[in-house]
Structure formats: C-alpha cells, structure tokens
Chain A
Amino acid sequence: MLEWRRRREPSTLMLWLSPLIAIGLTMLLGMIVFTAMGYDGFHAVESIFVTPFVEPQRWPDLGVKAAPLVMIALGLAIGFRANVWNIGAEGQYVMGAIAGTGVALATHGMTGWWILPAMAFAGVLGGMAWAAVPAFLRVRLQVSEILTSLMLTYVAVQGLNYLVRGPWKDPDGFNFPQTRMFGADQTLPAIMPGSLVHIGIPAALLIALVAWLLMEKTTAGYAVKVVGLAPAAARHGGFSADRVTWATLLAGGGLAGLAGLFEAAGPFGQLTPQFPTGYGFTAIIVAFLGRLNPLGIVFGGVVLAATYVGGEIAQTTVRLPQAATGMFQALLLFVLLATDVLVKYRIGWKVRAA
C-alpha cells in the first residue's frame, strides 16, 4: 500500500519542483477537460502553453501582459507572507488608474517631462489610499481585510463606471463611455519602437529585484516573515504585527495602483468600462505559483501571461472560447495547491510495524 508520510523538514526541492509539476498536470488535465468538451484539447494546450514561448513575435505581448501581473503579485505576496490577505488588488489597480487618469485629464493639452511621473505618483497614491481602508479597519477594529478589500473592488469598479459615463466622458467621443485619449506626454513611451512594449516591463523587473532584496536581506523582510509564521514569537521579538499589516497593505496597494496607471497610460491610453481586466485576481495565482518569492513571481507572471496570449491564439486555432483562459488559470491554482502536499509529505510504501 502507498501512503503519505510527513517529512521532518519541508522539502526545498519539492518547493521549487511542485510549480513545474503543477504546470505539467494542468496541461494534462486541460487536454482531458477540453477534449471532453468537444474541442481539440491537444492543440488547445499547445496554443496556450507552448506557442507563446516558441514564437518570438509573441514575446512583446507576453511582457506587456506579465508586467502588471508581476507588479501586483509582488505586493500581494509580501502580504500573504505575513498572513495579510489583500484580495482587493483589482480595486487598488482600478483606483490607481483613476487617480493617474485624473492627472492626465487635468494636464490635457499640456506638455512636459513631469507629467508622467506625476501620473505615476498619483497612481501609487490612489492604490495606497484604497488599501489604507482595509489596513485601518484591520489594525484598529480587527475587521477582516479579506472582505473589506474585496468589497472595495466593487466600489472602485462602479466609481470607474460613473466617471467614464459622467464627469470624465470624452466630449468629442460620440457619447461613448470613455475618457479622452491621453496625449503623447501622458502616455508611456514605447521602449521598442512600433510595439506596445513600454517602460512598465523593465520597471516590473526592477521592482521584483528590489522586493527580493527587501524580503531576503533586510530586517523588515524578516519581520514580515516572522509575523506570518509565528505571530507570538514576533511579538516577543519586538516586531509589530500592526506595522507589518499597514506596510504590506500599503505596498500591495501602491504596486497595484502603479500597475493600473501603467495599463491606463500604456496599452489602454484612456479609461473605458473594459479597464478592470481581472489582473488583480490573476495576480493571486501568480503569487502562489511564484512561491511568494519575488524572483519566482517573475516566472509565475510570465506563465500566467502566456495563458492570456495563448488563450487568444487558441481562439483562432481551435475556436476555444475566451472564457477558457480563466478556466486554465483556475485549474493551475487548484493543481498547484494540491501538489503542495509534496512539500510536506512524501509518498512511500506502507511498512507494517514489527
């Protein structure tokens, strides 16, 4: 008989191997599920997980999709490490975009090198402000940040809808619910001419590096980990859980806000009701796939970006509906959580006690 045996120490090998196993299993499961649903399962999986990586013309798109995911996931992961469950990143992302767009609309027709930094600053502040509400309620009143941060997402999305249909509606936009297009100085410069590749991509990589240094090499990063693993020991060691809650939520909100601003000033170039793209939720999967480790998250971001890019490819190659992308992403998270058991347990043959 096979049995699960608890490991004395969590397996470091499995910690890094299980995401790869999970990706493999997801591909296999996806093949089975989509074949059962009447699609060409093999080519669906190939389009989603292989084509985006082997066709160089897809790489810029991969980077464009990965950048916001990585940025948001970095903030979330730091919080998850400290048992702070910010799941309202989508709302913070939208608020960041709204705040940055406010600056863009206020500077409409103006030019100047300072406009983009001001927009980015407003974006970060917008996301932070939206995350400050759950932080305050959690620290002062012990209200679960899970529910408040999520509720605020719905509020932010309605706020966006109000603005683009009301006060911010483009006066020359034929009554479409959208803001003016941003001007040249309100738009992120493309770093690869003729493509959508914008400054957000190197920024995301840089932030990942900084986050890694912060988490692994500083006392602050250590405090976050201790508060998450052993709250009692953290108190004893003089680390304030409240300060960690504030810091992680503000960091998460600020990064989500920056990601939102980069999307608004980058691929979108304006705000529309289609702006809430679900990156805030997908970033949760990215964070887990990256093992809550900043460098792992870069890898996770690229994999999840591939599901978007590949999902679009699969729409044309095997007529897989767009919704299949979400299904693949969810499947990946499920399988990942399931394979996590390998970190704590090993499979062995049952030995009868002598």
Chain B
Amino acid sequence: MTTAILVSILMTLVAASTPILLAALGELVTEKAGVLNLGVEGMMLCGAVAGFAVAFSTGSTMLGLVAAMAAGVATAMVFAVLTLSLTANQVATGLALTIFGIGASSLIGAGFVGRTITRLGPVFPAALSEHPLLRAVFGHDIVVYLSLALVLGVSLFLRRTRPGLILRAVGENDASAHAIGYPVIAIRYAAIAFGGALAGLGGAYFSLALTPMWADRLTAGRGWIALALVVFAAWKPGRLLLGAYLFGAVMTLELQAKAAGITWLAPEFLAMTPYLATIAVLTMMSLGRRSGRLNAPACLGKPFSAS
C-alpha cells in the first residue's frame, strides 16, 4: 500500500518535472550557442495551444505533439530572424516573444476553453506496469522517456562530438569561431530552433498530458522557471535533470498538501512556493560563487555581426 502511494507520488513528480526539463534543455542548447532567448514561456504557450488544437481536431495526441514542436520552432524563428538577421536586442525580443505567445495562445485557445481530449497515455502495455515498482519504470508516457533520452543525447552531443564543440565555441567566442570559418549565424539559428522545438513540446505536455484541456496561460510561468533552471544547472545537462526533478518535487509537495487538505497554510501560499523556491535557488547559486554568472557562455546575449 505504501509502495503504491510512493510510486504514485513519484509519477506525479516526474510528470510535473518533464515540461520544465524539456524547455530548460532547449534553452540550455540555445544559451550554449551564445543566445539568450527569454521567450521560453511564449514558445511553450504556442506549443501548448497548437498541440491541443491539433490533437482536438484530429483525435491524435501524437500529431498534437508534432504540431507543438512545429509551433515552437516557428515562433523561435521569429526570434531568430529579429535577433540574428536584424540584430535586435535579445532581451527585448525575448520579452516580445513571451507577450506574443500569451496573446496568440489566448486568441487561438479561446475556442477550445472547456474542451477535453484523451490524455497522452503510457507507452508500454498495462500488463507491464501492474506492480507498483514496475509502474515506476514502465508506466510513463513517451514524452518522459524522450526527455530523459534527450538529456543524455544533449550531454553527449555537447561534450563528445565535433558539432557540439563548434556550438560551444560559437557561444564562448563568436568572433574567433567566425574567423576560423564556422557559420556563427547558421549555428545560432539551429540552436534557437532546437530550443523552440523543445519548448513547444514542453508546453504541449501541459495541454496533452498534465491537464488534458485548454485553459488560458496554463503554463503559469513554468517557462521562466526553466530559464532559472539553466542558471541553477550551471549550463550542464546532468544538473538540469536534477534541478528539474527538484522543482517537480516542490510542485508535487504543493499538490500533495492540497490533496491532504492542509488548512493551516492557505493554498495561495502553497502556490507561491515554486516561485519563491526559484528565487532562493538563484540566490544560493550566487552565494556559492561570488563571481555571479558562473560558467555562463562568454558571448551569452551579445549580438554578433560578421562585418
């Protein structure tokens, strides 16, 4: 009985962590290439609404996930064109992307409020996850496994492969990378697109898996938490996984406390915890090393022009 409860808490934790993990992993790659895209929340919302709209009209959750990634890439490309080709300020453009995502998702989603779809189900047959312990391993949906595979993939890509090395070089010293002959702008376009795809997928996880329905602004600031997570992880994929699951734990605690009917603490204070935790984490990171922006790619946020 207790095992079953623990496993169910673990399942909630993993589910709550997955969208943040995906969005943060995409942003990590973008930032490793030297680009600060503050539009994560906006890309997530666009992915969430596109995923829901397509899943609702086609009845296929899988198509919804694909559409969400496409929507994430499309919005990320707007950011890329503005910041890379038109050398617009990255902070301002990222904010614009988030404001756009909130507006566009709200407009497109207006017709879907209250509609429901079939929730994204587990990958493996139910027989495999009858026992609670097996369920902890085999009971997840495809996006959870994909997110874990992506963490491993990105980690290996950045550390062990030549393209990964080039991407990091572009983020550390764009002028030198350009001088050696690497296409700085093209690489940054690719990194931003990857970030957009994962943010879109993370957003769709909200509307297709966590709450299989549409509600305005349903990502509730998780995109911003994903941005903070990249700092917490010191731009390392492994630590990102740890951090995302820690945040998942905080949010699960919030849900558990609500479910347990805790009355001495108002629900509004529980709802504050993820945001306060984010501030606390950012503060602790800086306390640890006074240098501040520890380990950040040297060219992060700086525009590049070849001429």
Residues of A within 8 A of B (CB): 6, 85, 87, 133, 137, 141-144, 146-148, 150-152, 154-155, 158-159, 161-162, 165-166, 281, 284-285, 288, 321, 323-331, 333-334, 337-338, 340-341, 344
Contacts and interface: CB of A to CB of B under 8 A. Distances in A.
B59 interface: no
B87 A141 contact: no
Interface stretch (B15-23, B98-106, B202-210, B235-243): B98-106
B145 to A, nearest CB: 30
B302 to A, nearest CB: 12
Contacts of B307: 6
13 contacts: A141-B290, A142-B290, A143-B286, A146-B91, A147-B228, A152-B275, A158-B269, A285-B96, A285-B99, A288-B92, A321-B107, A330-B96, A337-B92
B283 A334 contact: no
Contact of A281 (B89, B99, B109, B291): B99
Contacts of B92: 288, 337
Interface string B276-299: 101100110111001111000000
A337 B78 CA distance: 11
B13 to A, nearest CB: 21
B271 A330 contact: no
Given A158-B272, A334-B78, A141 B96 contact: no
Contacts of A87: 95
B137 to A, nearest CB: 34
Given A141-B290, A142-B293, 8 more contacts: A133-B279, A148-B279, A151-B228, A159-B268, A323-B106, A325-B103, A326-B103, A327-B103
B56 interface: no
Nearest to A166: B266
B282 A323 contact: no
- Most interface-central of A144, A288, A328 (chain B CB within 10 A): A144
A75 to B, nearest CB: 16
B222 to A, nearest CB: 11
A154 B275 contact: yes
B151 interface: no
Contacts of A333: 95-96, 99-100
Contact of A338 (B88, B271, B278, B279): B88
Contact of B87 (A281, A285, A321, A341): A341
B199 interface: no
Contacts of A141: 283, 286-287, 290, 292
Contacts of A288: 92
The size class of the interface chain B forms with chain A is: 35 or more
B99 A329 contact: yes
B227 interface: yes
A161 B271 CA distance: 11
Contacts of A146: 38, 91
Contacts of A150: 221, 224
A338 B87 CA distance: 9
A147 B227 contact: yes
Contacts, number: 133
Contacts of A340: 86, 88
Contact of B231 (A6, A144, A162, A326): A144
B104 A337 contact: no
B93 interface: yes
A162 B270 CA distance: 11
B110 interface: yes
A151 B88 contact: no
Contacts of A166: 266, 268
A18 to B, nearest CB: 12
B88 A154 contact: no
B175 to A, nearest CB: 17
B283 A162 contact: no
B82 interface: yes
A88 B274 CA distance: 16
Contact of B275 (A143, A155, A325, A331): A155
A209 B189 CA distance: 42
B282 A162 contact: no
B82 A143 contact: no
A223 to B, nearest CB: 21
Contact of B93 (A133, A144, A337): A337
A142 B293 CA distance: 7
B88 A162 contact: no
A327 B93 CA distance: 15
Nearest to B38: A146
A158 B99 contact: no
A85 B96 contact: no
Contacts of A158: 268-269, 271-272
Contacts of A147: 224, 227-228, 231, 278-279, 282
Contacts of B106: 323, 326-327
B107 A326 contact: yes
Contacts of A329: 99, 103
B268 A151 contact: no
Contacts of A155: 272, 275-276
A165 B271 CA distance: 14
Contacts of A161: 268
A270 B289 CA distance: 45
A284 B99 contact: yes
A288 B220 CA distance: 25
B198 to A, nearest CB: 19
A330 B102 contact: yes
Contacts of B91: 85, 146
Given A147-B224, A324-B107, A329-B103, A334 B282 contact: no
Given A152-B279, A321-B110, A333-B99, A165 B224 contact: no
A330 B103 contact: yes
Contacts of B266: 162, 165-166
B104 A330 contact: yes
Given A85-B91, A326-B106, A326-B107, A334 B279 contact: no
